[in-house]
């Protein structure tokens, strides 16, 4: 940095503005301010209070700007701070930026200038470029958005920059078979992915897609961007093209060509030149010159999943832009650089498509994760254009688990906002009564959506039924065959009349006559119509065949099945009655019978696949909203268990509904289900009657605020297992605050990271009078933690205490002795796998000799012959029944002391694992033969008789 001139230092700093603000937002504020202070860039004290008061991007943006205004030395000092922080804070965005600067080196300024100003072109080519940009500007400057049905049949257009809301795009290569519906699968990943962004995922801004990728260690020429339906892939590409046209980024590309696969499907064999000129005929005179410099070209292809061409990205043969080939071969050859070597290409696709292609040929793979919380709120405000309405609508959706979870998808936001705006439009005032009448399930959302459309079109009941039947049959055909795009032949086959204004509200048209394509406004609307048709025209055989689609492993019909179950709820389908007449109650009974049958069949399932299938049926139950049916399906079972089945927030909401429907469930075990903080929050309503709750191995670090809230309001919970959850001090602090008011008797916190949590643990135990069993094994607890715990042990009611596998040393034996000596309830104590041998071991043994302890585990505590004599006082303990001294280095030389302990004890009946002493069994035969109080079973175990 010191080698650059002032103007270049500033240019580089501004080039990375978005990245730097994002980095400042996601690494420790105190650490960066401390570094900046140490390097005399600025005074940290002046900024600490500002940092604490600001939210979101406000503070990072201010800090960024202030450093810029301080000048060259401050900017260089800032870069040096980031370089110093990368070891302790390996933020992926920070590592990516530093790696790009290191590898680009002295060419960085040239790259920035090229991206800003572009190549010098001859006058004719420049004129063609200007014409091309004007053409693309007209196509991208407006964002087309369908108006709420009933207001106008014309779509509404907004300036793209006014309506566009930033999407989260992250680096990923996690493309695998997704057995669940894609929307739910990515919904599950959404929160997890946002967490990982701080430590494992790189945030990709649009101007970063074709810059150095530190994962593949190159500047990518082939980029894949994936995302579920409606997540914003097409809009992202539109914004990318618009920003190029307006000079915001990537002027290194002299020409950008944007294609949609659905528009290219009807092309037969064509050459690359033909394909370009088919869409951009005005470039005919300059096409040869344009293609002479492939490194200046970018090709964008949107919607790989909509292509009818089979593409094998493992091989290509086309190398001539004038040779005619099928479209798939052209795209593959561009990606593999056989055709126009040096050009760049970006393709978008649904994730499921990527499981069937070789993605290794792409140098960058990114996934659109949709909206963050703040982005969702911004979208609502832009949609309603009214502060009060947008806030009320957002608050309502935020409180509805299912609707809010799907709101990370922009097109879902549009549907939800559209439905709510319809409801608000018909109400003179927004009151509590009106808010309670709003749709509560996804089924009710779409019922309301369709009802409002029908209400605003003059249509006879018979005409509406006929239209919805034809659309529904076509929709179901598409769902069952993975078909999103329909053409004129499909419409004719299913008797869909698209010149009907009503059908235009449901279907979107694209392409140019006569080659038009049709898609539903949203994939989920297609799935809704596919379900609705069974209630309009009920056929037992056809409905049963559709219900059998739950056996498909690819999840194509999950939401379709949920709609079938949602429509079997009479109150949900009643909203359509005035428009289409009575919907079939026989179909409803048929679906409910199917639900009962599926749950009964899978109640005792043990495989993960079958448990997931059972959970999918529970989703259907929740959509049905019938608590009596849910209770009936659960039967008399008192225990509910899901092991090693990942649960996303929607799953947890569904489980909450199911468990809340049954008053009999007392034990809930969700071990290894990897529940997120949002998931824990959604489970809380179901915990009120639970007596035993196991959430072991769920990675609950950071999720204890919600869990603590659930415990606070629960007076039935007796057993809580939180072992193996990466819990740390802040988590324990939350839990210990509510422990005193709980009724918990058995608390398992084993295998976490509670080092330094002694004070919080002590606080919770001190004021609790119900806790009897406490497991703190494998927690890195050491001296100070043990000291705090032992101070409160005497006043507790703890009977079993597990301190195995910690970092307790003989120096803590005095504290242990103090706690034990003054305690009257402790019966079992486990100190195994700690290093207790040393002078203070005597204090512990003395205290134990007068204690109430019946079971004592001293396995693998580093005990050697030198300290074995200190065990003898244990014989004075008239309560001690079981003693484990296994896995200690004790030789035959210390045998006399072991013998003395056994012979003197009046209560000792079991000693664990004699084999560990490496002593001859006949030696112990001699001892045990004289000690009749030892159980015969223990004598038999070791071959004594």
Count of C-beta atoms within a 10 Å radius of residue 207:
18
Q: Domain boundary residue among 580, 597, 625?
A: 625
- For residue 358, give the CATH number of its domain: 3.40.50
pLDDT band per the 50, 70, 90 thresholds, residue 431: low
Question: Is position 473 within any domain?
Answer: yes
Q: What is the mean pLDDT of residues 773-788?
A: 96
What was the pLDDT predicted at 599?
Answer: 84
Specify the pLDDT at position 585.
94
- 874 and 785 within one domain: yes
Whether the CB-CB separation of 300 and 237 falls below 8 Å is answered with yes
What are the pLDDT digits (tens) for 862-883?
Answer: 999 999 999 999 999 999 999 9
Domain at 109, CATH number:
1.10.533
Residue range 719-747, pLDDT digits in tens:
999 999 988 888 899 899 999 999 999 99
Indicate the pLDDT class of residue 667, thresholds 50, 70 and 90.
Answer: very high
Residue 150 has pLDDT above 50, yes or no: no
Q: Mark residue 495 as left, alpha or beta (left: phi above 0; alpha: psi -120 to 50; beta: remaining).
A: left
Find out whether 617 and 647 touch, Cβ atoms under 8 Å. Answer: no
397 and 346 in a common domain: no
Q: What are phi and psi of 910, to 5 degrees?
A: -135, 135
Six-digit token string for 228:
């579920």
Q: Which of 31-40, 483-492, 506-515 has the lowest mean pLDDT?
A: 506-515
Q: What is the pLDDT of residue 940?
A: 47
Q: Long-range contacts made by residues 685-689, C-beta under 8 angstroms, separation at least 24? A: 685/656, 685/660, 686/655, 686/656, 686/657, 686/658, 686/659, 686/660, 687/711, 687/713, 687/714, 687/717, 688/660, 688/713, 688/714, 688/716, 689/663, 689/665, 689/716
pLDDT at 844: 97
Helix (H, G, I), strand (E, B) or coil at 799: coil
Indicate the pairing of strand 882-884 with strand 855-857.
parallel
Name the β-bridge partners of 370.
Answer: 168
- pLDDT in the model for residue 287: 95
Assess whether 80 and 34 both reside in one domain: yes
**Residue 942 banded pLDDT, cuts 50, 70, 90:** very low
pLDDT of residue 151: 43
Residue 703, pLDDT score? 79
**Residues 127 and 259 grouped into a single domain:** yes
pLDDT of residue 265: 84
Q: Would 929 be classed as within a structural domain?
A: no
271 CB-near residues (< 8 Å, 6+ apart) = 320, 321, 322, 323, 324, 325, 330
My answer on whether 868 and 803 are in the same domain is: yes
Instruction: Answer whether residue 48 is part of any domain.
Output: yes
Check residue 832 and give its pLDDT: 96
User: Which structural domain, as residue segments, surrounds residue 32?
Assistant: 6-117
For residue 332, pLDDT beyond 90: yes
Cβ burial of 40 (10 Å; 0-12, 13-18, 19+) is exposed
**Total Cβ atoms within 10 A of residue 83:** 15
The pLDDT value given to residue 433 = 66
Mean pLDDT of 88-99: 87
888 secondary structure, DSSP code? S
Residue 187 confidence (pLDDT) above 60: no
Q: In the predicted model, what is the mean pLDDT of residues 371-380? A: 80
Residue 212's closest CA among 466, 446, 15, 8?
Answer: 15
Higher pLDDT, 585 or 515: 585
Of 412, 430, 448, the domain-final residue? 430
What is the rounded distance in angstroms from the CA atom of residue 853 to the CA atom of residue 726?
31
- Measure the CA angle with vertex 681, ends 678 and 687; round to 5°: 145
Nearest to 645 by CA among 212, 179, 332, 272: 179
Work out whether the CA dihedral 810, 812, 818, 821 comes out positive or negative.
Answer: negative
- Count Cβ atoms below 10 Å from residue 313 Cβ, excluding itself: 19
Residue 485 has pLDDT above 80, yes or no: yes
Measured CA distances, 399 to 31, 201, 402, 914 (Å):
36, 29, 9, 60
- List, in sequence order, every residue forming a beta bridge with 260; answer none if it has no partner: 302
Same domain (yes/no): 686, 814: yes
Same domain (yes/no): 346, 379: no
Say which residue, 927 or 457, is predicted with more confidence.
Answer: 457
For residue 650, is pLDDT > 90? no
With cut-offs at 50, 70 and 90, classify the pLDDT of residue 511. low
More confident residue, 173 or 360: 360
Residues 612 and 657 in one domain: no
| Residue 429 confidence class, pLDDT cut points 50, 70, 90 | low
Q: Which contiguous run of DSSP H or E holds residue 769?
A: none
Domain membership flag for residue 220: yes
Residue with tokens 């052209």: 330
Arithmetic mean of pLDDT, 164-187 = 55
pLDDT at 146 over 70: no
Same domain assignment for residues 345 and 391: no
Asked if 368 and 236 touch (Cβ cutoff 8 Å), the reply is yes
Are residues 538 and 678 both part of a single domain? no
Q: Is the pLDDT of residue 84 over 70?
A: yes
Whether 523 is in a domain gets the answer yes
Asked if residue 20 belongs to a domain, the reply is: yes
Return the pLDDT at 648: 81
Does the bond joining 514 to the residue before it have cis omega, within 30 degrees of 0? yes
Average pLDDT, the chain: 84
Higher pLDDT among residues 702 and 290, named by residue = 290
Lowest mean pLDDT among 60-64, 424-428, 876-880: 424-428
Q: Is the pLDDT of residue 175 over 50?
A: no
The more confidently predicted of residues 287 and 767 is: 287
Same domain for 602 and 467:
yes
Residues in the chain, overall count: 945
Are both 449 and 564 inside the same structural domain? Answer: yes
Count of domains observed in the chain:
5
| 113 domain-assigned | yes
For 381-393, what is the mean pLDDT?
A: 84
Task: Provide the pLDDT for residue 177.
Answer: 41
- Any alpha helices (H) in 802-840, and if so which ranges? 813-821
* pLDDT (average), residues 488-497: 89
Residue 152, in any domain of the structure = no
Tokens of 183: 């929307």
Of 366, 389, 415, the last residue of a domain is 366
Least confident of 388-392, 555-559, 586-590, 724-728: 555-559
């Amino acid at each position: 940095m010191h080698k650059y001139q002032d103007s270049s230092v500033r240019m580089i700093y501004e080039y990375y503005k978005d990245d730097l603000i994002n980095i400042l937002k996601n690494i420790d504020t105190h650490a960066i301010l401390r570094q900046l202070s140490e390097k005399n860039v600025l005074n940290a004290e002046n900024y600490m209070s500002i940092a604490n008061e600001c939210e979101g991007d406000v503070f990072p943006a201010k800090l960024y700007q202030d450093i810029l205004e301080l000048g060259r030395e401050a900017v260089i000092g800032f870069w040096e701070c980031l370089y110093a922080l990368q070891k302790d804070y390996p933020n992926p965005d920070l590592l990516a930026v530093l790696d790009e600067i290191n590898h680009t080196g002295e060419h960085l300024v040239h790259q920035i200038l090229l991206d800003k100003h572009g190549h010098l072109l001859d006058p004719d080519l420049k004129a063609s470029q200007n014409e091309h940009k004007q053409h693309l500007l007209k196509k991208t400057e407006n964002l087309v958005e369908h108006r709420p049905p009933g207001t106008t049949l014309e779509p509404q257009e907004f300036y793209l920059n006014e309506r566009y809301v930033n999407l989260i795009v992250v680096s990923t290569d996690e493309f695998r078979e997704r057995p669940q519906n894609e929307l739910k699968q990515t919904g599950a990943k959404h929160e997890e992915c946002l967490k990982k962004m701080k430590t494992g995922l790189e945030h990709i801004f649009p101007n970063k897609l074709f810059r150095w990728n530190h994962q593949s260690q190159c500047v990518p020429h082939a980029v894949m961007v994936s995302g579920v339906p409606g997540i914003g892939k097409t809009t992202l590409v539109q914004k990318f093209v618009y920003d190029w046209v307006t000079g915001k980024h990537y002027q290194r590309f002299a020409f950008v060509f944007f294609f949609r696969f659905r528009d290219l499907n009807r092309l037969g064999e064509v050459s690359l030149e033909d394909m370009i000129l088919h869409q951009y005929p005005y470039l005919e005179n300059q096409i040869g010159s344009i293609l002479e410099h492939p490194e200046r070209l970018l090709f964008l292809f949107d919607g790989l999943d909509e292509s009818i061409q089979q593409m094998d990205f493992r091989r290509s043969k086309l190398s001539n832009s004038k040779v005619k080939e099928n479209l798939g071969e052209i795209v593959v050859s561009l990606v593999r650089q056989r055709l126009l070597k040096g050009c760049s290409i970006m393709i978008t696709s649904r994730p499921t498509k990527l499981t069937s292609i070789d993605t290794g040929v792409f140098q960058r793979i990114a996934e659109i994760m949709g909206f963050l919380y703040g982005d969702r709120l911004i979208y609502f405000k832009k949609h309603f254009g009214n502060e009060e309405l947008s806030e009320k609508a957002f608050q309502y959706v935020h409180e509805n688990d299912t609707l809010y979870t799907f709101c990370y998808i922009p097109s879902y936001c549009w549907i939800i906002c559209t439905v709510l705006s319809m409801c608000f439009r018909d109400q003179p005032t927004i009151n509590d009564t009106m808010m309670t009448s709003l749709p509560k399930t996804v089924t009710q959302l779409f019922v309301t959506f369709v009802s409002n459309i029908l209400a605003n079109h003059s249509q006879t009941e018979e005409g509406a039924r006929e239209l919805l039947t034809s659309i529904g049959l076509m929709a179901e055909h598409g769902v069952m065959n993975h078909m999103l795009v329909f053409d004129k032949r499909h419409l004719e086959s299913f008797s869909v009349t698209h010149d009907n204004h009503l059908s235009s509200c449901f279907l979107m048209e694209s392409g140019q006559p006569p080659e038009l394509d049709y898609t539903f406004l949203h994939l989920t609307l297609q799935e809704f119509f596919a379900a609705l048709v069974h209630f309009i025209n009920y056929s037992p055989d056809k409905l049963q065949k559709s219900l059998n689609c739950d056996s498909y492993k690819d999840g194509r019909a999950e939401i379709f099945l949920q709609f079938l179950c949602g429509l079997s709820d009479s109150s949900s389908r009643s909203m359509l009655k005035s428009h289409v007449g009575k919907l079939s109650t026989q179909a409803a009974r048929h679906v409910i019978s199917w639900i009962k049958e599926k749950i009964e069949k899978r109640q005792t399932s043990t495989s993960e696949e079958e448990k997931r299938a059972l959970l999918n049926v529970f989703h259907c139950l929740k959509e049905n909203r019938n608590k009596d049916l849910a209770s009936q399906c659960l039967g008399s079972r008192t225990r509910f268990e899901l092991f090693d089945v990942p649960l996303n927030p929607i799953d947890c909401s569904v489980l909450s509904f199911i468990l809340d429907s049954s008053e009999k469930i007392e034990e809930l075990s969700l071990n290894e289900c990897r529940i997120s903080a949002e998931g824990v929050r959604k489970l809380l309503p179901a915990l009120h009657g639970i007596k035993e709750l196991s959430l072991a191995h769920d990675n609950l670090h950071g999720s204890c605020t919600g869990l603590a809230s659930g415990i606070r309001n629960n007076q039935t919970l007796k057993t809580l297992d939180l072992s193996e959850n990466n819990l740390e001090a802040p988590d324990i602090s939350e839990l210990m605050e509510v422990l005193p008011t709980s009724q918990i008797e058995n608390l398992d916190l084993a295998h976490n990271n509670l080092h330094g949590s002694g004070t919080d643990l002590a606080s919770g135990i001190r004021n609790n009078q119900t806790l009897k069993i406490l497991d703190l094994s494998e927690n890195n607890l050491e001296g100070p933690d043990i000291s705090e715990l032992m101070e409160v042990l005497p006043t507790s009611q703890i009977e079993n205490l597990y301190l195995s596998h910690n970092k307790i040393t003989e120096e803590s034996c005095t504290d242990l002795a103090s706690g034990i000596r003054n305690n009257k309830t402790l019966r079992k104590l486990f100190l195994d796998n700690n290093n207790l041998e040393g002078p203070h071991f005597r204090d512990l043994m003395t205290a134990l000799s007068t204690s109430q302890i019946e079971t004592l585990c001293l396995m693998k505590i580093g005990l050697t012959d030198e300290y074995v004599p200190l065990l003898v006082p244990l014989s004075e303990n008239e309560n001690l029944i079981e003693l484990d001294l296994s896995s200690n280095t004790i030789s035959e030389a210390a045998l006399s002391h072991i013998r003395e302990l056994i012979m003197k004890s009046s209560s000792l009946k079991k000693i664990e694992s004699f084999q560990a002493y490496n002593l001859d069994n006949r030696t112990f035969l001699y001892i045990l033969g004289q000690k009749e109080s030892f159980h015969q079973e223990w004598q038999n175990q070791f071959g004594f008789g």
